[in-house]
């Protein structure tokens, strides 16, 4: 692990330094919350921020993305993904986990060049959390509270200074040529260790069991009546999936020019919570009940993604919990399933 130190007062100079080569995006305030957006000055963003409405995945899979443009006679195709090199400042560690999962998903099988191109041009500068971002977060339980990889640079707030942990050469290049970067001293290392150690006690575990038990819990809860209870109150509004850093389901549709000569193939975010998601022509819906859609969502978060990609599909960011108007949350759901399973297990042992 190699570190560098920058005085906090140099932040804006560093932003200006980076702007010579990069577009900078960072958390900007919006109506009491934050959203990632382009910034030109350090005064426009905050690094200590609760959580953004949408996770930074929007820079990897844009909400609406033109994949191709073409002429209607098929004589001409053009791939339209030409991202500009962008530095994302202030990515939380839970969101790093989300990006790590997306990296695996979009590179399996036939590589998604649109994703890959965007990913390669993205410089992830993450930021260590010292306090739970919102009442909804449960990153501690999901094991996403430290930056282990996926970042290019990781910032640790040391009060007067920022420590940069260098994750990749890409990250290192962001510091090159900037004057106010200093080597770490032993005192700095000490400070880094202290803030790291001290932070943990501020983060409660919110799951009543260990995350390694989650996949199995879900397998055993597949036929639970709890899904019907969720289905009854769920509005099917899809907010929970739209804001989730590990949801990536998409739709593809075509749009034509007004002159009907050319067209575009467009990818947009989709949601397994909406009625049409698994409906085929003729009207047959393979997940006709909202209960089945909720179950599918939580199975993906807690089991399917982990089975397929080796990473648990929920980062504990709490965005869905904050968004949901009927208070359907991963913590409540997982704990309730755990409780019910234990009740059943108890009854079974009693019966024996």
Partner 1 sequence: MAQYERYIRPKVAFFDFTSCEGCQLTVLDSLQTSPELLDMIEIVEFREAMSERSNEYQIAFVEGSCTRPADEERLKTIRSTASLVIALGACAHLGGINAIKNLRPLPEVRADVYGDKADWYDTYAARPISAVIDIDGFIPGCPIDRDEFIRVVKMLLQGRQPIIPDHPLCIECKLKENVCLYLRGKICLGPIVRAGCGAICPTYGDGCEGCRGLITNPNLDSMKMVLEEHGLSFEEVEQKLSMFMAYQTAGIKSEAEGATS
Partner 2 sequence: MKTLTEVVTKSPSIYQPVPARIVSIEELTETEKLFTVALPGGLSLHHSPGQFLQISVLGIGEAPISISSSPSRSYGTFELCVRRVGDLTTALHNLKRGDIIGVRGPFGRGFPVGRLRGKDLIFVAGGLGLAPLRSLIYEVLDQRGNYGQLSVLYGSRCPSDLLFKDELAEWEKRDDMTLSITVDHPDETWFGEVGLVLNLFDDIYPNPRNAVAVVVGPPVMYPSVIERLLSLQIPEGSIWLSFERRMKCGVGRCGHCQLNHIYTCREGPSFSYSEIKDLEEAL
Ligand X SMILES: Cc1cc2nc3c(=O)[nH]c(=O)nc-3n(C[C@H](O)[C@H](O)[C@H](O)COP(=O)(O)OP(=O)(O)OC[C@H]3O[C@@H](n4cnc5c(N)ncnc54)[C@H](O)[C@@H]3O)c2cc1C
Q: Which of 17, 58, 119, 267 binds partner 2 (CB under 8 A)?
A: 267
Nearest of 82, 87, 84, 85 to residue 25 by alpha carbon: 87
Nearest distance from residue 253's CB to partner 1, in Å? 8
Residue 6's DSSP bridge partners are 162
Q: Which of 2, 43, 108, 194 binds partner 2 (CB under 8 A)?
A: 108
Residues in CB range of 56: below 8 A, 6 or more apart: 25, 36, 88, 91, 95, 99, 124, 245
Binding-residue pattern over the window 70 to 99 for partner 2, x denoting contact by CB under 8 A? xxxxxx-x-x-x------------------
Cα gap 239→235, rounded to integer Å: 10
Closest to partner 2 by CB, 43 vs 107, is 107
Q: Which of 1, 20, 32, 176 binds partner 1 (CB under 8 A)?
A: 32
Binding to ligand X in span 229-288, by CB under 6 A: 280-281
Closest to ligand SF4 by CB, 17 vs 273, is 273
Q: 301 contacts which partner out of ligand SF4, ligand X, partner 2, none, CB within 5 to 8 A by kind?
A: ligand SF4
Q: Which of 46, 195, 237, 272 binds partner 1 (CB under 8 A)?
A: 237
Nearest distance from residue 95's CB to partner 2, in Å? 20
Q: 272 contacts which partner out of partner 2, partner 1, ligand SF4, none, CB within 5 to 8 A by kind?
A: partner 2
Nearest distance from residue 139's CB to ligand X, in Å? 36
Nearest of 25, 158, 183, 31 to residue 90 by alpha carbon: 25
| Cα separations in angstroms, 99 against 122, 157, 315 | 11, 22, 10
Sheet bearing 86-91, strands edge to edge: 33-38, 23-30, 86-91, 122-127, 153-157, 161-166, 2-7, 182-183
Pairing label, strands 33-38, 23-30: antiparallel
Q: 130 contacts which partner out of ligand SF4, partner 2, partner 1, none, CB within 5 to 8 A by kind?
A: none
Distance of CA 289 to the CA centre of its chain: 27
Closest to partner 2 by CB, 61 vs 145, is 61
Which residue is listed with tokens 């009907």?
A: 260
Nearest of 142, 137, 34, 62 to residue 97 by alpha carbon: 142
Q: 242 contacts which partner out of partner 2, ligand SF4, partner 1, none, CB within 5 to 8 A by kind?
A: partner 1
Binding to partner 2 in span 296-315, by CB under 8 A: 296, 299, 303-304, 307-308
Binding-residue pattern over the window 238 to 277 for partner 1, x denoting contact by CB under 8 A? xx--xx-----------xx-xxx-------xx-x--xxx-
User: CA gyration radius for the chain?
Assistant: 22
Nearest distance from residue 21's CB to partner 2, in Å? 25
Residues in CB range of 4: below 8 A, 6 or more apart: 163, 164, 166, 175, 181, 182, 183, 184
Cα gap 315→67, rounded to integer Å: 28
Largest CA-CA distance found in the chain, in angstroms, rounded: 75
Q: Which residues bind ligand SF4 (CB under 6 A)?
A: 51, 92-94, 129, 132-133, 137, 139, 144-145, 234-240, 243-246, 273, 301, 314-320, 323-326, 328, 330
Which residue is listed with tokens 């002159």?
A: 259
Number of residues that bind partner 1 (CB under 8 A): 36
Helix then strand count (H, E) for the chain reads 13, 12
Q: How many CB atoms lie within 10 A of CB 264?
A: 16
Sheet bearing 250-256, strands edge to edge: 77-79, 64-71, 262-269, 250-256
Which parts of this chain interact with partner 2 (CB under 8 A)?
67-68, 70-75, 77, 79, 81, 105-106, 108-114, 222, 248-254, 256, 260, 263, 265, 267, 270, 272, 277-282, 284, 286-287, 292, 296, 299, 303-304, 307-308
Which parts of this chain interact with partner 1 (CB under 8 A)?
30-33, 35, 53-54, 58, 63-64, 232-239, 242-243, 255-256, 258-260, 268-269, 271, 274-276, 290, 322-323, 325-326
């Amino acid at each position: 692990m190699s570190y560098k130190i920058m005085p906090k007062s140099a932040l804006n100079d560093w932003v200006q330094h980076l702007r010579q080569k990069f577009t900078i995006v960072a958390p900007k305030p919006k109506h009491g919350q934050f959203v990632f957006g382009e910034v030109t000055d350090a005064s426009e963003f905050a690094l200590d921020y609760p959580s953004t409405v949408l996770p930074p995945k929007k820079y990897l899979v844009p909400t609406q993305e033109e994949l191709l443009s073409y002429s209607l006679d098929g004589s001409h195709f053009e791939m339209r993904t030409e991202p500009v090199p962008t530095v994302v400042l202030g990515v939380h560690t839970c969101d790093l986990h989300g990006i790590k999962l997306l990296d695996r998903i979009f590179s399996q099988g036939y590589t998604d060049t649109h994703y890959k191109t965007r990913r390669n041009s993205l410089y992830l500068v993450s930021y260590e959390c010292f306090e739970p971002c919102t009442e909804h977060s449960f990153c501690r339980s999901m094991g996403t509270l430290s930056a282990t990889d996926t970042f290019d640079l990781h910032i640790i707030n040391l009060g007067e200074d920022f420590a940069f942990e260098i994750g990749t050469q890409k990250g290192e290049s962001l510091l090159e040529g900037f004057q106010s970067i200093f080597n770490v001293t032993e005192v700095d290392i000490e400070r880094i260790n202290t803030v790291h150690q001290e932070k943990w006690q501020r983060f409660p575990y919110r799951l009543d069991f260990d995350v390694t038990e989650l996949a199995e819990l879900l397998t055993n809860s597949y036929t639970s009546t709890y899904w019907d209870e969720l289905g009854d109150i769920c509005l099917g509004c899809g907010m929970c999936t739209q804001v989730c850093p590990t949801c990536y389901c998409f739709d593809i549709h075509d749009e034509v020019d007004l002159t009907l000569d050319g067209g575009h193939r467009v990818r947009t975010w989709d949601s397994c919570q909406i009625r049409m998601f698994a409906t085929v022509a003729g009207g047959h819906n393979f997940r006709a009940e909202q209960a089945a859609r909720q179950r599918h969502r939580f199975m993906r978060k807690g089991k399917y993604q982990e089975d397929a990609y080796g990473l648990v599909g929920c980062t504990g960011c709490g965005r869905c919990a904050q968004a949901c108007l009927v208070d359907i949350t991963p913590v409540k759901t997982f704990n309730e399933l755990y409780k019910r399973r234990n009740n059943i297990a108890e009854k079974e042992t009693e019966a024996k």
